[in-house]
Structures are given as C-alpha cells and as structure tokens.
Chains A and B, each alone.
Chain A
Amino acid sequence: MIYFVRRFAVFLLTLWAAITLNFIIPRLQPGDPAERIVRRLNPNSRTVDPNQVEAVRKMLGLPDTNIFEQYLQYLQTLVRGEFGVSYSYFPFTVTHMIGQTLPWTLVLGAVTLFIGFVVGTLLGAWAAWRRNGPFDSVTTLGATFLGTLPSFWIALLLLYVCAFKWGWFPVGGGYSGDAQPGWNWAFISSAFEHSVLPAVSILLFAPIGWILGMRNNMVTILGDDYTRLAKAKGLSERRIALWYGARVAVLPNVAGLALAVGGILGGSVVIEQIFSYPGMGRLLFEALRDGDYPLMQTVFLFIIIGVLLADLVADFLYGVLDPRVRRGG
C-alpha cells in the first residue's frame, strides 16, 4: 500500500514540475507573441501598428499582470481546459484543435500498439519456449533484420507502391471529403481505409521490441532454477510455460507497454506527417514549423501528462504483478 501511495505522490510532484516548466519556458523567450502575430498577418508591411498589436493582445487574452498572477491564471485555465487561441489556426482555440486531432492519434496509436504488443509478446514467448528451433530462428532473425531498416523509408515505400502506383489505398488524410465525420458507415469505412497504410507501417515494426524482449526474458527464466524445479515437480508443459516462464517474463513487457502508451502522442509525428494523417503528431509538427507557441505548449503538456500517467500506471501494474516490488518499495 505504501508503495502505491508513494508512487502517486511522486507522480503528482513530477506533474506539477512539468506543468510549471511548461509555464516558464515560453515566457523566457524574447519578443511579444502579439507582435509576432501582427507581423504574420501583414507580412508585407515593415512597421507594426501598436493599436493592432494591442487589439491582438486583447483578443488572445495575453495578460499584463505580474508573473504570479499569471501563474495562478495559467493553473486555472489548465483546470478548465482553456489553452488559449492557436496562432496558426486562428481563430480556432487550441482546445478545439487538439479535440480535432487527438482521437485520430489515439485510435491509430492505441490499436496498433495493442496489436503489436499482443502479437509480439506471443511470438516472443513461443520462440523462447521452442528456443533454437526453426520458429525461433526465423522470428528472431526476422525481427532483428526488420529492426535495422529505417521505418520512415518503409512507410514511404508503402505509400508510393500501394497508394500512388497501384491506387489500392488513399494517398493521405484521415477520411475522404465527402464523408461526414460521425457514427455513420461512410465515415467509418473511409477512416478505416485511410488508416490502413499508416497502421501497416507501424505494425511492421511495432512487435519487434516486444518479440525480442519477451524472448530474451523468457529464455533466461526458463533456464532459471525455479523453472527447472517446476519440471522436476512434474508439472505439465503448459503450466511451466505459462506460470513459470511467461508469467515472470512478461513483467518487463507490461511495464514497457504502459510506457509505450505514454509515448503514442510523441511517437506519431513521422508517420502522421508521411501520410498527412490528421492527428496530433502532425499538429505538433505544424505548430513547431509555424512557431505557434500556445499550440506547441499545449501539445507538449499533453505529451508530458501522457508519459507521466503511463509511468504511474506502469509502476502500479508492476506493483500488482510483481510481489517483490510491492513490499520491497
């Protein structure tokens, strides 16, 4: 119990630190964001109209109070989920933009992650159980080889061959323009069709880590004394493989899975960019390119919270699954 309470306290502390850093860093940057916007709105004029700047400042809700009040306000807006107006998608709010993109990334990321995890762990466990057999050799070698290929290159290749050359799948985007987003068949099938290529390019690589991790853990554990003792006890092969081998070997993988969930947002940038997928990774990329600070800041905040939450879940899971951690900590 102590273990869980302590972990939670650590989580809150790190979260607070991250949020505060997120507040401080943009304010360390030189220049006035309102002025920057005005410059972007009139790229041809060399001077800036102070009235216009003031107007933009009002509109963006940029504060001129002191830093502590700003911090308090910032915390309040966080709680209420108001992250201000996006510079580059003006007049849309940051919240709106994130609401638009987050589901895309989460669905694609979560589904592929989960499939990759299950497939990878199963393959790894089977390879370890039949270690040094043909299945093991093929799986291990195959996974290692795939792992050496650059994933974005494979994604581009898929895009070129399957979309441009053969036209089997759409070239990019999340759904075709004639479908109405919502719970209707036209939209869902279109979204599915659009997600096939990105999903395949992720899934080609996703299981590799799980396969190798699971296989190596389990091979070690199968050589451990308690697995040998399980054999000496005359337990069935299945029980040994599952309860003595896989049950212990999967622990690091489960913790890894929780961490990977936290990494979904941050890890989606390249693939979404390649397939022009309307997710948060692409949003982040554009925010970076356009110097859209409120958007950037918020996306980063989401990524940080995601990672921290995942970390917390990983530790909790570990605590539940591994009695050594629970009481030791």
Chain B
Amino acid sequence: MSLLAVDQLDVTYLTRKRPPVQAVRGVSLTIGPGEFVGLVGESGSGKSTLGNATIRLLSRPGEITGGTVSFNGQDITALGEDRLRPMRWRDISTVFQSSMNSLNPVMPIEAQFRDAIQAHSRASNGQVRKRVAELLTMVDIDPSFMRFYPHELSGGMKQRVALALALALEPKFVLLDEPTTGLDVVVQRAILERLRVIQREQEFAVLLISHDLGSVLEFSDRVLVMYAGEIVEEQAAADMLRHPRHPYSRGLLGSYASPTAKTIAITYIPGRPPDLSKPHQGCLFAPRCVDAIPLCRMKAPELLPLGDGLVACHVAKMRAEAGQLPEQQGRSWRTQAAGAVFTKHTVAKDPTGAEDILRFEGVSKLYTRRRGFKTTLVQAVDDVSFVLSKGHVTALVGQSGSGKSTIAKLVTGIERPDSGEISFGDLRVDRLGRRGLRDFRKHIQMVFQDPYSALNPAHTVLSTLMRPLINHKGMSRGQAQSRALELLETVGLTPPERFGQRHPHQLSGGQRQRIVIARALAPEPAIIIADEPISSLDVSIRAEILELLDGLVREQGIAMLYITHDLLSARLLADDIIVLNEGKVVEAGRAEDVIANPQHAYTQLLLRSIPNPFVEETAAD
C-alpha cells in the first residue's frame, strides 16, 4: 500500500483583488514507504503548493478545492488541526524552501529540537540533548552548536540543522522543498549526498522538490515533472534520463551538459508559463512546444501510461503508438532540438591580439576582522594577477568566501589593494582619488545575482534605462528614449515600446535580468562585472541569458569578469578561467584546458559538484 496517495487534487489561491489562481490542477500521485521521489518544474509551476497541500500546510489564501490526500490509508484532506497535530513531525515532517529562515531567531537550536520532540514524547531534557547531539552529528555538525542561535550559523549549517530537525522523530515521510537552493554547489551536493545516505538507512519516504532536474535525477528513484499546476510526466529516474517523453522534460534536461565535452549545446525553453488565473484550452505547454500540432491547441492531453511511466502529451502518445521513441537510446534524443539551443564549440579564440583593458598585477588585500576583543587578519586576496581584455570573458570561480567579491570591489575601486597594481590603460586604479574614481566608474558596470531587488519597482523599464543615459552620457530626454528602446532591442525584448512601459513586477525573472543587462550596457562600459547573473534564474532560462551575454561581449567588445561557482556556465561563457581558493589563484588558464584537465583538488571538487545527470554517458564517450 502506498504511504501517501494524492488523488485528483486541486488547490486554488483565492485572492480578493485578483481572479483565483488554480495553482494545482487534478494532480494524482503516490509515494510508497521508503521511496525517494523528485518533483521538478519551473518557478511558479505549483511545486511548493502541491507539496504543502500534501502535508496540509497550505498558507492562506491557498485552499484544497478538490480531490483527496491520504496518508497511510487515512484521508487527511479535511482532517481538523487537532487530529492532524499528533501526526505532524512524528509521521510527516518537512524542510522548507527557505529553510534558512525557518528557524526561530530568538531560540537556541537545542530548544527548537526540544519543543518538537517533547510535543510528541515524554523525553526528558537530558534525553533530548543526547538525541540532538546524535542528530547534529548525523548531518556533520558539531553537537556544541546546539547552544547557538540560528544567526550564528552559516547558511549551509542552518540548512543541515533544518534537515536534522526534520528527522528528529524518525518520520515516515519528509517533504523537502528545495532544501539546498541558494547554497554553494559544493555544499548543496554534500548535503544531498548525506541526505540520501541517511534516507537509505532510516527508510523514510521523501518528496524532493527542486527546479534543478539534474540533481533530482541523480538522487531520486522516481521523478514527477510539473508544468503549470499539472503533472506532465512521471517516470523512473533512469528512464527519464534515457528517454524523456514530454517535450517539456526534454527541454529541462537540455540545460545540462558535460562541461568537458568538446562541443557543448544546452537548450532552453523560450517563453513563459501561462497565467493560471485565466481559462485555457488545449495543452498548456503548446505555446512553447516545438512539437505542437493543431490538435494540441484544441484538446488537453491526458496523463496516460506510456512505457513504464505516465505522460501527458498527444505527440508522445502518437509516437509511442507508432513504435517510435523509447528505442532511441543514449543521448540521441538530445540532438533533436527541444527548444532554442546555445552551442559553444571549442573554437580557439585567440586572446593574444585582443586589447587589454584591465590589468591586475600581484594584488593583495588583507582585512582585519574584529570580533569582540579579538582581531583576526583575513588574507582576502593574495598575490592575484590577471588581465581582462576586450571582447573576452574571464571567469572567476571559487567557493563563497574565496575572495571573489573582494576582487570585484578592487576592480571597481571600492576597495584599495594593500600591495600590487591595478591598471586601466594608463590609469592606476589603486591610486585614484575620489574624483578620479568617479570618472573611472563610468567605464564599469555590474550585473548582480538577483534581478528582483536590482530594479526599482516604482520605475518603468524605460525610465530605469533612461536615467543612466541622461546622467552619465548627458543625453536629452528624446535621445535617451530612443537609445533606451535600442537597448531593449539589443537584449531581445521586442517590441521595445511595449516592454518600455512595464514595471518590474510585470516581467518574468529572465526578462528582468535582461533589463538589468540593458541598464549595464547603457553607459557603454568597457568592463562588465557579472556576479552570478544566472544563479537565481530558472534552469530553463539560464542558457538564454548566457547566450545574450556571450553575444554582447563579442559584438560590443566588452571585457567581462564573470563571477560564479558553476563551472558549466563558466565553460560556456568564458575564454579564461581563474580558480580562486582562500584568496589565492590555484589554477588559471584557457577555459577548455582548465576544465578538461583540472589540476587543483578544489577545481576537481567543483567539477564533480556540477549537477550532471549524464555523468555515466560522458564517461562512456
């Protein structure tokens, strides 16, 4: 018998001002005891909503408007909170999407375990302490941390604590909603691997929600793909990897590739998911689907058994009936484009001859960090040299805390080096006075990680873009406007007139990041510093932004410093890679070389940490 059974579940957000949003529609799924199931989909596809509904933890105004959820054979769809409470944590526990914020800021870690444990058992404080020590050790955290408050732990530690907390009562089912999102790839991987080991030992069932199909495929037994509130495909992880049948799953898988391959092609899915508050006809994916046929727009496909899994797609069904698909073994399906493609060949771009823009020579920076009466010295940057040249991308790769951001600050002149030289043409950036710096900064623009906070929500796109033109370039309003429209075209937002009038909240994440890029281009900078520009974006649109950046750098002859901890994107975008560890350059060279033949242990670790469902295949190549 299944542990968790969801049948034809509907969840609706009934907002007062806007029409109701049907975030989950007719979803059925089952999870058996000890099974590890993955749930993937783009942002807004309803993953969290579905997850929260299954554990009866929807927040207002979300409501289950149809269907049932049963746990261990008991229908819990309408069970009162009093009846649910004894089941919570004992049988069903969870780690939230933002588990960084899911710990009470004013309670020590131990107390947060204690109240959960003592709410369900008669454990004494001493017993609790022993158990907490055990649990923390299990997730590789020293038990002495139980006396600490959440803000005294790093993000990765908080996430491990949240995981340990979820396992405190040895539940039968754990819902993990993006338990590692926002963390360093290396840390993400370490946590997920640990989780998988514990899960095998203790045999609880897991529903792992993620937008990262790569890691879900690696860790799960079975995968559910969700699109616009519906499950569109369900398969065993191994089958999904070999022959994904739904065009959407193929599109999501297309964004993974082995960075060591000679030619890398990653695909993305153009367009955006539909608005779930409007009525629909036919397949919801049709506007973005490469395989769509006229039938798709008229009739919604049903989720039907196909092969060993379930798929909701007319074309996939027809192909299966014609005996066409599953025999395509290996990665052959990937050659049929499942969306737009961003291809990167190993064509040697000769860096010699390109004009040098910025030069770092033997730059060091020491920070004094004061904590209480103790001061510690931190060598943030240690004897670093590199060159940014025109039309080239230099990737700066390293773990958080490795000194990447300090280098960015040194480039912009916000920080001064203790020793070494930073020169911009004939200009010594490390010696500039206040006025000199202001002039110099016109040549540098930044693109940050989070396009949501980078834009002023009160301004239209057009005025966001016109401001730097009027301020820095001294243009008249008319000139600025026509230039702003050009910029919108450049970053692929057409028709520019329509996008110009919008406010940030009316744009998708990818579109916002395009605006941020357009704004960075406005003053015609010589250098762009892109600090993790794609890490907060959906996997399905990352390639799109990389392609845009790549094109701009080459066409406009910009020198780019690309800061990241994702080696795949570094390989795709950069000509050179510099690997940084504890402030020192541990490895540097042409991107292909560094990746094909990583010397330093840290580079190898980073390479291993890239979610890549195709590892076996690559090894077989």
Contacts and interface: CB of A to CB of B under 8 A. Distances in A.
Interface of A: 1-2, 223-226, 228-237, 239, 243-244, 247-248, 251, 321-324, 327-328
B89 A233 contact: yes
A235 B119 contact: yes
Interface string B75-114: 0000001001111111011101011011111111000000
B152 A244 contact: no
Nearest to B101: A225
Contacts of A248: 104-106
Nearest to A225: B102
Contacts of B105: 226, 248, 322-324
A327 B104 contact: no
B120 interface: yes
B151 A234 contact: no
Given A225-B96, A226-B103, A324-B105, A231 B57 contact: yes
Contacts of B152: 327
A328 B86 contact: no
A232 B87 contact: no
B59 A223 contact: yes
Interface centre among A225, A230, A322 (most CB of B within 10 A): A225
3 closest cross-chain pairs (CB), A and B: A234-B88, A323-B149, A225-B102
A322 B151 CA distance: 11
B372 interface: yes
Nearest to A247: B106
B106 A321 contact: yes
Contacts of B119: 233-236, 239
Which of B59, B106, B116 counts the most chain A CB atoms within 10 A? Answer: B106
B55 interface: yes
B98 A225 contact: yes
Given A226-B101, A248-B105, A322-B106, A232 B115 contact: no
Contacts of B103: 226, 229
Contacts of B81: 237
Nearest to A224: B101
Main secondary structure of the interface of A (DSSP, over half): helix
Given A226-B103, A239-B115, A324-B151, A234 B57 contact: no
Contacts of B120: 234
Nearest to A251: B106
A245 to B, nearest CB: 10
A218 to B, nearest CB: 14
B104 A244 contact: yes
Contacts of A230: 104, 115
A247 B111 CA distance: 14
B149 A324 contact: yes
Given A230-B115, A323-B151, A324-B106, 17 more contacts: A2-B373, A226-B104, A229-B96, A230-B104, A232-B88, A233-B115, A234-B85, A234-B90, A236-B119, A237-B81, A322-B105, A323-B105, A323-B106, A323-B108, A324-B105, A324-B151, A327-B149
A320 to B, nearest CB: 11
A231 to B, nearest CB: 7
Contacts of B102: 225-226, 228-229
Contacts of B89: 232-234
Contact of A2 (B84, B86, B372): B372
A232 B106 contact: no
Contact of A234 (B59, B86, B101): B86
Given A229-B96, A323-B149, A328-B151, A235 B106 contact: no
Contact of B115 (A1, A243, A251, A328): A243
A228 B87 CA distance: 16
A237 B82 CA distance: 10
A228 B57 contact: yes
A233 B114 CA distance: 11
Given A226-B102, A248-B104, A235 B116 contact: yes
B150 to A, nearest CB: 9
Contacts of A328: 151
Contacts of B372: 1-2
A146 B92 CA distance: 46
10 contacts: A225-B101, A226-B101, A226-B102, A228-B59, A231-B88, A232-B55, A235-B116, A237-B81, A323-B108, A323-B149
A237 B81 CA distance: 10
Nearest to A328: B151
A134 B20 CA distance: 24
Contacts of A232: 55, 57, 88-89, 92-94
Interface string B48-88: 00000001010100000000000000000000010011111
A165 B20 CA distance: 57
Contacts of A2: 372-373
A232 to B, nearest CB: 5
B8 to A, nearest CB: 24
Contacts of A231: 57, 88
Contacts of A244: 104
Instruction: Please indicate which of the listed interface residues B81, B101, B104 has the most CB atoms of chain A within 10 Å of its own CB.
Output: B104
Contacts of B92: 232
B527 to A, nearest CB: 35
A324 B103 CA distance: 13
Nearest to A326: B149
Nearest to A3: B372
Contacts of A322: 105-106
B101 A233 contact: no
Among A223, A226, A247, the one with the most B-chain Cβ atoms within 10 Å of its Cβ is A226
A243 B93 contact: no
Contacts of B149: 323-324, 327
B178 to A, nearest CB: 12
A230 B101 CA distance: 12
Nearest to A324: B151
B55 to A, nearest CB: 7
A136 to B, nearest CB: 14
A225 B177 CA distance: 12
Pick the most buried of A223, A226, A228, A233: most chain B CB atoms within 10 A of its CB. Answer: A233
A234 B87 contact: yes
Contacts of A233: 88-89, 93, 115-116, 119
Interface string B118-145: 0110000000000000000000000000
Interface string B400-437: 00000000000000000000000000000000000000
Task: Identify which of A1, A232, A247 gathers the most chain B CB atoms within 10 Å of its CB.
Answer: A232
A226 B151 CA distance: 13
A165 to B, nearest CB: 46
A235 B96 contact: no
Contacts of A327: 149, 151-152
A321 B151 CA distance: 14
Of A224, A225, A234, which is in contact with the most chain B CB atoms at under 10 Å from its CB? Answer: A234
Nearest to B105: A324
Contacts of B373: 2
Contacts of A321: 106
Contacts of A235: 115-116, 119
Nearest to A229: B102
Nearest to B111: A243
A229 B92 CA distance: 12
